[in-house]
């Protein structure tokens, strides 16, 4: 889910930049709240959540770039 929420904003490139920024901000806020919840409920440590978020962002950036380049062609 952390991977798909910010990526949904890429689907709506035809919308205004302000709406995309707001949608991306909401998605990122949800990701941060979910990560905090995992720490608060003692399911994970801070290092687990930070490293998982980093890996998720790197995968998101790579796939998003690949799909956007393919869509331009």
Convert the pLDDT of each residue in 9-21 to its tens digit: 666 667 777 877 8
- What is the rounded distance in angstroms from the CA atom of residue 6 to the CA atom of residue 23? 8
Identify the CA nearest to 53 among candidates 22, 30, 20.
Answer: 30
Containing H/E element for 62? Answer: helix 46-72
pLDDT at 66: 84
Give the residues of the chain that fall short of pLDDT 50.
none
Tally of structural domains, the chain: 1
Q: Provide the residue range defining the domain that includes 12.
A: 4-72
CA angle 29, 3, 27 (to 5 degrees): 20
Between CA 66 and CA 60 the distance in angstroms is 10
């Amino acid at each position: 889910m952390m991977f798909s929420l910010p990526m949904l904003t890429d689907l709506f490139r035809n919308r205004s930049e302000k709406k995309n920024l707001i949608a991306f901000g909401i998605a990122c806020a949800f990701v941060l709240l979910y990560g905090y919840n995992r720490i608060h409920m003692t399911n994970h440590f801070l290092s687990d959540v930070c490293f998982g978020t980093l890996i998720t962002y790197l995968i998101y950036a790579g796939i998003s770039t690949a799909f956007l380049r393919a869509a331009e062609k």
